[in-house]
Homo-oligomer: A and B are copies of this chain.
Amino acid sequence: MRLATVRDGSRDGRLVVVRRDGDAVLDARSVARTLQDALDRWDACAASLRALAATLDAGDVDGEPLDPDQLLSPLPRAYEWIDGSAYLNHVRLVRKARGAEPPPTLETDPLVYQGGSGVLLAPTEDIPLQDPAWGLDLEGEVCCILGDVPRGTRASEAARCVRLLCLANDVTLRSLVPAELAKGFGFFQSKPATAFSPFAVTPDELGPAWRDGRVLLRLTVRWNGKVVGDLDAGPEMHFSFLDLVQHVAKTRAFTAGTILGSGTISNADRARGWSCIAEQRALELIDHGEATTRFLAAGDTVELEMRDGAGRNVFGTIAQRVVPG
């Protein structure tokens, strides 16, 4: 089942189910007003939502044509947005580029930060470029949307907490990071609003590509139409989503609708490209002593998507333009 949220003038949009071909949607408000509402009452809603999707797939109803520009983030605002950094190749390269050491516990203790979750960007929403000197960057990620997570949940129990999967563009103001992290309290101004994919998808939609808390698909990243990354999201995710759940739940519980991100998808094989400019610049710095690839500029476009073995665009495409602002 794939779910989406359509712009309707309200803060949280209206819930729809998405047809298998991704070209039509069906209003799901007979089951739940919003995606948050469905997540709050998942056990009571999931079967009815699946039934709606089945009628749409069977052609029993036409639904409405899907207009990507009318979609909001599946959760236009969420109660928490927690972002990991589970691809260690990314951590090592980016820290090296800013002259910081990776923490000594890199391989045993997951890195996560608490992100801002009250204003999330729609999949085709413009990214404002406030100041080109701030180093506007994308970060391509895969995420899960959780159900209620009790405090103390172990990785072995965490799969049942994963309700939905989606993609994110975790927009980052790279030049604001070093000074902010030096203050010791983590990211804040350096992480403006994050964008999410059109569709939030139940794990069973991925079939064997959802395994052991990892998404075994490739993320395609296009910058101004050119493929700059074709990254395997699976094996190099050092900490799985199940590991990340155990880590974040050590001292806290989470409400349904909490979004948990993988961190920037990154492969050690350079031929696979990149999903954030900072990594490419880090490699240039290491190889040539100088970073030459620029950050995002006004007019640039960024696209992120994942296709399955059958070529289906599983989560829809995050397709954003950078605009002055």
Q: Which of B114, B151, B182 contacts A114 (CB 8 A)?
A: B114
A202 to B189, CA, bound (A): 28
Which residues of chain B have C-beta atoms less than 8 A from A114's C-beta? 113-116, 186-188
List the B residue with the shortest CB-CB distance to A188: B112
**Contact yes or no, B183 A109, CB < 8 A:** yes
Instruction: Name the interface residues of A95-131: CB closer than 8 Å to any CB of B.
Output: 100, 103, 105, 109, 111-119, 128, 130
Residues of B within 8 A of A116 (CB): 80, 114, 252, 254
Closest to A85 in B: B185
A contact patch SS: loop
Q: Report if A79 contacts B (CB, 8 A).
A: yes
Q: A249-264 vs B: 1/0 string, CB under 8 Å?
A: 0111111011000000
Interface residues of A in 162-218 (CB under 8 A from B): 173, 176, 179, 181-193
Q: Which residue of B lies closest to A114 (CB)?
A: B114
Q: Verify B112–A185 contact, CB threshold 8 A.
A: yes
User: Are B184 and A100 neighbours in the complex by a CB distance under 8 Å?
Assistant: yes
A183–B253 Cα distance when bound, in Å, is 22
* Bound Cα distance from A134 to B112, whole angstroms: 19
Give the distance in Å from the alpha carbon of A176 to the alpha carbon of B109 in the complex: 13
Contact digits for A2-38, partner B, Cβ 8 Å, 1 yes 0 no: 0000000001000000000000000000000000000
Selected A-B contacts with CB under 8 Å, 26 pairs = A11-B255, A77-B79, A77-B255, A79-B79, A80-B117, A80-B118, A103-B184, A105-B179, A105-B183, A111-B184, A112-B185, A114-B114, A114-B116, A114-B187, A116-B254, A118-B255, A118-B258, A119-B254, A181-B185, A185-B186, A185-B187, A186-B186, A186-B187, A189-B250, A192-B251, A193-B253
